[in-house]
Amino acid sequence: MARCLILVLLVAASTILAQENTVTLDEDLLKAAEQWAKENLSDAALSALQDLDREKVRQFLAQLRQQFHGEYVVDLADLRDAAKTVLPLLENCEETLPYALWLKPRLDYLDVADEFRLIIPPPKIEPGKTPTLSPNPAPTKEREIWITKFTNRPWPKQAQTYVPRLKPIFSGQQIPPELVWLAEIESSFDPRARSPDGAVGLFQLMPATAKRYGLRTWPFDQRLQPEENAQAAAHYLRYLNGRFRDWRLALAAYNAGEGTVEDLLSRYKAHSFDAIATKLPAETQMYVPKFEAVLLRREGLKIAELKMSDLAKRTQ
């Protein structure tokens, strides 16, 4: 129980990294967790609270956030082994299980980054010059890798329940019902998933987005309700498609933020996802082609074949 408490506090404290690029944590949280353990646990239980476990979680969450928001896809490969070590720690107790449910589908990004590390030649090191970083894979190559990865992957267990229930919600927002598969890459269709940044539910809605579309986050978090979460996500996706007029760009904005996509389109005088893909945050570079692979595997559709309703077109 104490280990779970400390892990919960560490995960919560990791949200501080949203404002900082350092690997520092709120010392008050750590001290509170440690004080609780000293007051409530036996010596035997205390000895089981290894600093190594806490340090692994702390460092991993900090590094993962930094690399997801960084520019280089291949850098994510460095966290692959650490993720597979930390995941069982998060799965081991009820309080941190939601974070494990968030992390688990994101192991795909680390695996694919590792594949790219093997096929992208490292930059040449020239004496007297600053070493360059490995180039990002082209979006066309990303799509090839992700399609291969999902060729034989079965449906997530809970998709059988949620896909039929949630497709009508997406249709009701006059957007393609097939977009319901976004929940596979966000949460693997588990409504309990929670990110260290505070996103919750099937479609990983941030608090501000949830409130923007009419959901409460307190005293009861409506994002935990599958239908409410889907309704807000569908509404937001409709808005993003209306803003960017392109599903790839809309999905990139869903993951990286509208401002990030707008700024890159403006900076590079671009009009498509492919034109800015290698400049997007590393997670987003893989997020969009991953969804395309899921869509092709689950529905037999390419993203260009997604159709908006006539009503939605008229009201955009």
CB contact burial 8-32 (16+ within 10 A = b; e otherwise): bbbbebbeebeeeeeeebeeebbee
Amino acid sitting at position 90 = L
Amino acid sitting at position 108 = D
pLDDT of residue 21: 45
Question: DSSP states of 209-276 as a string?
Answer: HHHHTT---SSS-GGGSHHHHHHHHHHHHHHHHHHHSSHHHHHHHHHH-HHHHHHHHHHTT--SHHHH
Q: What is the pLDDT of residues 102-151, one digit of tens each?
A: 999 999 999 999 999 998 877 777 777 776 677 899 999 999 999 999 99
Of 295, 190, 193, 173, which Cα lies nearest the Cα of 240? Answer: 173
Q: Would you kindly state where each structural domain of the chain is located, as residue ranges? A: 2-119, 139-315
* Distances 171 to 140, 185, 211 between C-alpha atoms, Å: 29, 20, 22
Q: What is the pLDDT of residues 137-150, one digit of tens each?
A: 999 999 999 999 99
User: Could you tell me what percentage of the chain is helix, strand and coil, using 3-state DSSP and rounding each to the nearest 5?
Assistant: 70, 0, 30
Helix (H) or strand (E) holding 7: helix 2-13
Helix (H) or strand (E) holding 131: none
Task: Give the separation between CA 16 and CA 19, rounded to whole angstroms.
Answer: 6
Task: Give the separation between CA 155 and CA 264, rounded to whole angstroms.
Answer: 34
At 96, list the tokens: 């941190």
CB contact burial 36-50 (16+ within 10 A = b; e otherwise): ebeeebeeeeeeebe
pLDDT of residue 142: 97
CATH architecture of residue range(s) 139-315: Orthogonal Bundle (1.10)
Helix (H) or strand (E) holding 167: helix 159-172
Per-residue pLDDT of the chain (316 residues; tens, 9 = 90+): 666 766 766 776 665 544 444 444 445 555 555 565 566 545 654 454 454 466 778 778 888 989 999 999 999 999 999 999 899 988 988 888 999 999 999 999 999 999 999 988 777 777 777 766 778 999 999 999 999 999 999 999 999 999 999 999 999 999 999 999 999 999 999 999 999 889 999 999 999 999 999 999 999 999 999 999 999 999 999 999 999 999 999 999 999 999 999 999 999 999 999 999 999 999 999 999 999 999 999 999 999 999 875 444 445 4
What's the predicted TM-score (pTM) here? Answer: 0.86
For the CA atoms of the chain, what is the radius of gyration?
21
pLDDT of residue 20: 46
At 1, list the tokens: 């129980």
